[in-house]
Chain A
Amino acid sequence: MQQKWLFVITPKTKLIDLNLKEVWQYRDLLMLFVKRDVITLYKQTILGPLWYLIQPLFTSVIFTLVFNNVAGIQTGVIPPFLFNLAGITTWNYFKECLTATSDTFKKNEQIFGKVYFPRIIMPMSIVLSNLLKFGIQLLILIAFYLYYALYAGAAIRPSEYLFLFPVLVLCMGMLGLGLGMIISSMVTKYRDLTFLVSFGIQLLMYISLVVIPLSLFQEKGVEWLVMYNPMGYIIEMARFLLLNEGNISQFGIIYTIVSSILALLFGIVIFNKTEKTFIDTI
């Protein structure tokens, strides 16, 4: 008798086994996870979603005081506070994506150990729910932008390429998701990486041009510190698009896009390899 099987479970894995059809079937789950992340984060808090805004604002204030007022870093025509806020808002999206996805397997061990659904739904939902948060934080950035432009009379204007901003966000999403998936896969076996991520991300911020502009690195002749960091280019480009300030190069653009795509592809490959048996090693 001819047997037609719907699916076969075997130990073998293909290199890229991303079943997009299956992910599409579970799209409702993806949205429900996003919803869950958003509505449960600030349950039983008084300020609720205001925390979304408080965190970047306070960070920007402190950074402005420390780096610009005390250390005297120059930001040109751009008010230092706005300069920092733009950098931090953008950086935060990447940071949140990376740190939250990097413990996908460990954090969801319970649920992954009980039921099957395409595992990639989980990191994808994190990237999406952070996008929402990023959107809210962009609003506060726009509010300050308008304040500086209209009331404080700062000579700022967005670049004519502002419409490319979503591409930048996409690159950040891919980079954060890809790196996060790679780390989360390796964490299942070797927990050492969790320690690396938590302080590594702090260090990475300083060479990602969040507070120190690229021009200063060039001036001091230590450009190599930031040259190979795609996040550095992304932050610099974000500031260029939003504030029309900073220098971007063709190399930077191509390097960023290529490394984002590579990170995502590599992430998917490793993640797929891990998801099948991680529950035995975690």
Chain B
Amino acid sequence: MMKDDVILKVENLSKQYRLGLVGTGTISHDLNRFLARIRGKEDPYLKIGESNDRSTKGTSEYVWALKDINFEVKRGEILGIIGKNGAGKSTLLKILSKVTGPTTGAIKSKGRIASLLEVGTGFHPEMTGKENIFLNGAILGMTKKEIASKLDEIIEFSGCERYVETPVKRYSSGMKVRLAFAVAAFLEPDILVVDEVLAVGDAEFQKKAIGKMQDISSQGGRTVLFVSHDMAAIQSLCTRLLVLKNGSVIFHGVTNEGVKNYLRPTFIKSFDPIEIGENIITQFNIQNSTTFKSGSDLLLTVFFKINSPVFNPFFSIVINDSRGIEVLQFHSRGINFSSDFCNDLILDLVVDDFNLHLGDYSIDFKFYDGKSYEFKNIASLKCVELMNFKISTNQYHKLNNSLYYNYNYSVK
């Protein structure tokens, strides 16, 4: 029964922003809007506006940061919200936490919403940690009594016991986050909104924070909306997933399904044919069928199209770290492909016990046709575009410094 209880309902929510500077145009628009209102007409500027694609140049001064968003959240759910920069995640959270109002649509809620958008705002640098706990707690909607009763727990959770009587301006940034998150963690709202706050804390604290969010939802029966770029955190924490793109919902459902759909996109939008010796690679694409997670197997699938038969070809998939240094190379030397393959080739790379440190990685795909002297890079996949090329939980620490991976190429 509890499970079916809808606690938050978002209906046709849209938010329009005006681009550019506030200038003299603003006054005339304000006047037009005012005239329309007193004549009982609709706001003339609501009709125009384009979808919010950051990279393309638009013609309208107005954009829709969010357009017709609809979704429901049930009690006790942890909903992960993901999307690229500018997809509307923060705008959605801002409206949810009443920081700004929607342009159209409505949000209906059965519970108190408290937000943890960017921790430490509202901290006064001159006041001590303890004073700031009270102030920040009150800003988040707690009463003095509530805070006082939880003060010891909050201080303990933050791990800043020694500093509670010291002004916050002397804190390190990590300590500020710890303190702020500790306050919010003991807040008891029905719905907790968390926006990428964990990025600053160290690994130990991140783990603690994620554990706390799980407790809030599983034991407290409370709902958490969690925005993050950290896919591993999303996957381990969230029961459901909402994917935003250019201000619209493109997926809402079970996390695993969303990860499958959203995280296995067609990586390469357009591929310009590449000449290698006498051959031309006309099509190329790469997908990873599993997520990048240390300690599990990695599966990469490469789609490949070449105009004429190649004998004795050679492939190499290279993984580079964020500074561009090669850390792993999986080459196909010694693997016999049937000599007359042509046209469509689907190539699977399976790596057993994949194990890498935390961080962002990129992938290169290299090809050698067996004849010319070129070993050409066909495609580079940057970690920025592929959120899941970031390894963020290293749950598996292999102590041997093995440089050898068991891997296997196979042709379908």
Give the interface of A toward B (CB within 8 A).
3-11, 13, 25-26, 28-29, 31-33, 36, 39-40, 43-44, 110-117, 189, 276-277, 279-281
Contacts and interface: CB of A to CB of B under 8 A. Distances in A.
Interface in B70-106: 94-106
A115 B127 contact: no
28 contacts: A5-B9, A5-B108, A7-B109, A8-B107, A9-B101, A9-B107, A9-B108, A10-B102, A10-B107, A11-B104, A25-B141, A26-B138, A29-B139, A32-B135, A36-B135, A39-B127, A112-B99, A114-B115, A114-B117, A115-B115, A115-B122, A115-B140, A117-B139, A189-B26, A276-B101, A279-B94, A279-B99, A279-B100
Nearest to A278: B100
B124 A9 contact: no
Given A26-B138, A29-B139, A116 B109 contact: no
Contact of A4 (B95, B110, B131): B110
Interface in B339-376: none
Contacts of A26: 138, 141
Given A5-B108, A115-B140, A279-B99, A36 B124 contact: yes
B377 to A, nearest CB: 44
A163 B26 CA distance: 50
* Chain A CB within 10 Å, residue with most, of B26, B99, B126: B99
Contact of B98 (A5, A9, A29): A9
A10 B10 CA distance: 10
A280 B99 CA distance: 10
* Chain A CB within 10 Å, residue with most, of B26, B100, B102: B100
Contacts of A277: 100-101
B112 interface: yes
A268 to B, nearest CB: 18
* Chain A CB within 10 Å, residue with most, of B6, B106, B167: B106
B121 A9 contact: no
B69 to A, nearest CB: 12
A111 B139 contact: yes
A6 B99 contact: no
Contacts of A111: 121-122, 139
B38 interface: no
Contact of B141 (A7, A36, A40, A117): A117
B43 to A, nearest CB: 10
Contacts of B95: 9
